[in-house]
Chains A and B, each alone.
Chain A
Amino acid sequence: MIRSFASRTGQMLLVIFGISVLVFCIFFATPGADPTARIAGRGASPQVVARIRAEYGFDRPLPVQYVTMMQKLFVSRDLTSFVNHGQRVVPEVLQAAPVTLSLVLWAAFFWVSGSLVFGIASAVLRDSWVDRLLMVLGLIGLSMPVFWLGEVVNLVTQSRWHDMFLFRWVPPLGYVPFSQSPWGWAKALFLPSLTLAVCFIGLYARVLRSELLTAMGEDSIRTARAKGAGPVRVWLWHGLRLSWLSYVSLFGLDFAQLLGGGALLTEVVFALPGVGRLTYQALATLDLPLIMATVMYAAVFVVIANALVDGLYALLDPRIREGRHGR
């Protein structure tokens, strides 16, 4: 147990290291990507360029640059932005993280509950009009771009019908911290997270439906019915139990990539100051330290989420537990 945990942690660290090297090389070591020129701006004199180069350490060998960068990112955490001089990057990301976390948690709540309801309903009522309707709705949800949907939602709830009783409660765009007002926090995140969840509901309901239908053909489901279990129990207890492995693995990956900034478009459209929007700004201004920080932050989340999903897998399916570590 301890050994497998240790080896797992080692693997995670190795992956994070690999990503950091890769990202560093892309931004700092590709030919033509001269960070000094970017910081100095256009038409700077050679003296200024030389001064900046020495100041930021760009005149030293790449491995040294890498180590300095990582040291500033993870140890002293005083890496500063190239664009807003003096702005510290790490606190900026850490400040944005709770916003993204709140948004994604709400979205996950909506998409898990929505896809469970839709997926189970259309599996139980398979080939009926309800099933077809739900699956078509799912396909529509799946194929609507989130930024477009977000703009439409904004248009409807913020301006066109804002005075209607239905949308009068909708707060102006932006984020309200939970510590400031939990109710305001929930209100501010309701529509953005629902918008973000729409395409996931469509995808997950489809996955769940097909997995559930496959599972219901298994012998063990016949056994469950032969035992005298009622339909609710057979579907929800036996059927779901067999079919949520791929659901869980999909969920882990999507959840992690959203936390790591994948909710970028939603955050930009709804003016939420999360990690995604930070990444967006950093990309727009080519702020290399900030990009480095957000990418590393995302990588850490994806890696951790992967490890958690693997752990959950082992909990859900005892066969995996043994397959991995042997006996």
Chain B
Amino acid sequence: MSDTAPAIELKGISKAFGPVQANKDISIRVMPGTIHGIIGENGAGKSTLMSILYGFYKADRGEIFVKGQKTEIPDSQAAIAAGIGMVFQHFKLVQNFTVLENVILGAEDGGLLKPSLSKARGVLKRLSEEYGLSVDPDMPVESLSVGHQQRVEILKALYRQADILILDEPTGVLTPAEADHLFRILDNLRAEGKTIILITHKLREIMEVTDTVSVMRRGEMTATVKTAETNPQELAELMVGRKVLLRVDKAPAQPKEAVLSVKNLRHVDADGVERLRGISLDLRAGEILGIAGVAGNGQSELLEVLGGYREGEGEVLLNGAPLPLRGPGSDGRARRAAGIGHVPEDRQREGLIMPYTAWENTVFGYHHDPAIQNGALMNNAAIRAEAAGKMERFDVRPPDPNLAAKSFSGGNQQKIVLAREIERNPDVLLIGQPTRGVDIGAIEFIHQEIVRLRDLGKAILLVSVELDEIFALSDRIAVMFDGQIMGERSPEETDQRELGLLMAGVTEDPGGDAIAAVDKSLDEKEHRAAGE
């Protein structure tokens, strides 16, 4: 095997965006018929590197060899011709096209569609049998589950006869069972001699499926090792450059009375789709209730209704008093005044105003507080001084309140939002995706801060799509699927497998055939969505 040419070899690839050096002199060899993982924190340059390989960006320096041949890849067309296929993190699908139409787009055989469509139908049938990639070719993509949409992306690449497949963070949107299924597909593909490059920031996946793993940090390739010869702790250190705590230290919770009671909460969105279908839960003081679920199953809407961004129906009691769910008094400002702090899921769009300074961002939502008014004017000097103190306590770097929010890194932006909400001492804190796009170092800090708040006797509702995070922080776990709560578990008495099934809407343990049960449940959801 040693004399085989690598499927992909990169030599000295460098790429800069303005002053930011995204890739520095990167060299890597990916052997054919292997699964090669590339791991690194957000902003380490993984996606940039793969975009260069797929012809999206042009490297400033360096060479690309495909199957031993030096290859120029100026655009996606060239990458496809070289046998490279890419499954992007954000799918590149035409939502209102059928699966078949999406697959042939750009790879049609002639001017008329009919022959291409019938040929593709046959090829798809063969591919789906060969690799376990079954998906209904005539379904419009928008009514498919995310996992099935991903299969369409893989099918697209295979239909173009790619034998090198790049997957960028493929499991971010999948339930654990769907992720397992994906890994099985990847195994099949490897068995057929395909080469797979898997980009991820999840250590577990790397350990589970890859043969070799390359670690990136700050635009550089720091190590390439055989997966069998390494362990998660070592990889984490290589990623971050120092020792990290992979677990959160916390004492058992001391829950008290219920602070927030939600009864039969419903929400219908602007498209007329029912996003919350009768949610009931109790949130007690001094505990963290984690809401697990795959993105798009109503968790966002739950946070937004409780936070006052959306109207809802049903009953929500805060310390026994009902909160208005529509009309006057149901907005975010009123909620904050009532004692419900909110760290929104998307900090860049909902948590911060990016061009505004850090100190301005530390008062949004609380800017009517008389303490910071000066007659009709804002007392900016006081706000600025207060902001400086908050930023110091939350270790925001650099600790300069006059910088615009957009000039902080993701982790520091999140700390600014947390500082704003936590320092106001709310009874209830709603937190969505606290560590999305945050580097490991900042994750440690944010997790400790959330636990500290709990120990002060606050009630915390945590929504996260990262199951590891849910397990690390929660005192109770509720699982959402399709706008409903499928069940509640204590983290000590459940495991990834059981939660994974609940996240796919499977409430009864199906025994050995878990994947079939998940498929069935997701198909039912698809059909409900298609019917609407």
Instruction: State yes or no: do A and B come from one complex.
Output: no
Q: Give B contacts to A, CB under 8 Å.
A: none
